[in-house]
Chain A
């Protein structure tokens, strides 16, 4: 299975901050990366796929980039509703695998 290593595992930030979360794959995954947001006690919410294609209805402050083995999710200006845990997922090979998650907390 492809390992997805997310960093940091947690971070503290303030409203308005720019936040970047990184995911490194154990091998090249050809831009086949999706990102999800999960709030406590809730199911994950799909944010984007193919590294940078935003799901309809997801605010444009979310963006993704990367290539090869390294991918990032950026929140350009953190909003109160963005405090959550974020997961990357590769779907380049089966089984799809998730990163360990990054918890974004209020500073």
Chain B
């Protein structure tokens, strides 16, 4: 039973870089797409991007210039960095596992979410 846990600062200053880490326990990193999704307060879900265990990344085009997702297989962790943050980046950030094996598409394991507020 794979479990995910986000960690990182809950407050970030405008123009600085938001950094979050997701720890994966109870299962392997291999074969999946490790995903970040966010949800602004009272709003819907926004897909940010993912990294495959091969190291390949895919980002939402409108965020691509500010986002980096990386993977540390030795620690069973993956990370998100969002640079030059503004108030619009305030959200609950979820790490998740996307399973795209055998014609399946499922964001089937989620972390509990961590709130990040951009404020001076």
Contacts and interface: CB of A to CB of B under 8 A. Distances in A.
Given A34-B105, A49-B104, A43 B47 contact: no
Chain A contact surface mostly: loop
Contacts, number: 55
Interface string B56-89: 0011111000000000000000000000000000
A42 B45 CA distance: 13
Contacts of A100: 44
Q: How large is the interface on B (under 10, 10 to 19, 20 to 34, 35 or more residues)?
A: 20 to 34
Interface residues of A, number: 24
B119 to A, nearest CB: 21
Interface string A33-71: 010100000111110011001010000000000000000
A22 B101 CA distance: 27
B108 A55 contact: yes
Given A32-B105, A34-B105, A46-B108, 11 more contacts: A43-B96, A44-B94, A44-B107, A44-B110, A50-B105, A55-B106, A87-B44, A91-B105, A95-B59, A98-B46, A101-B44
24 contacts: A1-B62, A34-B105, A34-B106, A34-B107, A36-B107, A42-B112, A43-B94, A44-B107, A49-B105, A49-B106, A50-B103, A53-B104, A55-B106, A87-B45, A89-B47, A91-B105, A95-B47, A95-B60, A96-B47, A98-B45, A98-B46, A98-B47, A100-B44, A101-B45
